[in-house]
Amino acid sequence: MRSIGLTGGIASGKSTVVELLRDFGAATIDADRLGHQTYEPGTDTFNAVVQAFGGEIVADDGSIDRRVLGGKVFGQPDQLKRLTDIVWPGIRALAAAELEQLAAAGDTEIAVLEAAVLIEAEWQDLVDEVWVVSVSPDAARERLMARNNMSAEDADARINSQLSNDARLAHADVVIDTDCALEEVRGRVETAWSALAQRSAE
Inform me whether the pLDDT recorded for 95 exceeds 90: yes
Residue 80, Cα to own-chain centre: how many angstroms?
A: 17
Summarised one tens digit per residue, pLDDT across range 25-43 is 999 999 999 999 999 999 9
Q: How many domains does the chain have?
A: 1
Inform me whether the pLDDT recorded for 183 exceeds 80: yes
3 state SS of 71: helix
Summarised one tens digit per residue, pLDDT across range 12-24 is 999 999 999 999 9
Domain membership of residue 182 as a residue range: 2-201
The per-residue pLDDT for 121 is 96
Region 7-11: mean pLDDT is: 94
* Contact present, 50 and 64 (Cβ < 8 Å): yes
Q: Where residue 18 sits, what CATH number does that domain have? A: 3.40.50.300
Q: Which residues, other chains included, contact 62 with Cβ-Cβ below 8 Å and sequence gap of 6+?
A: 41
Within 10 A of 23 (CB to CB), how many other CB atoms are there? Answer: 12
Summarised one tens digit per residue, pLDDT across range 115-126 is 999 999 999 999
Region 43-52: mean pLDDT is: 94
pTM: 0.92
The per-residue pLDDT for 74 is 82
Q: What percent of the chain has pLDDT over 70?
A: 100
Q: Bigger pLDDT: 138 or 199?
A: 138
Summarised one tens digit per residue, pLDDT across range 64-87 is 998 999 899 988 889 999 999 999
Summarised one tens digit per residue, pLDDT across range 128-176 is 999 999 999 999 999 999 999 889 999 998 888 889 999 999 999 999 9
Inform me whether the pLDDT recorded for 105 exceeds 90: yes
Inform me whether the pLDDT recorded for 9 exceeds 90: yes
What does the alpha-carbon distance between residue 22 and residue 11 come to, in Å, rounded to a whole number?
Answer: 19
Inform me whether the pLDDT recorded for 195 exceeds 90: yes
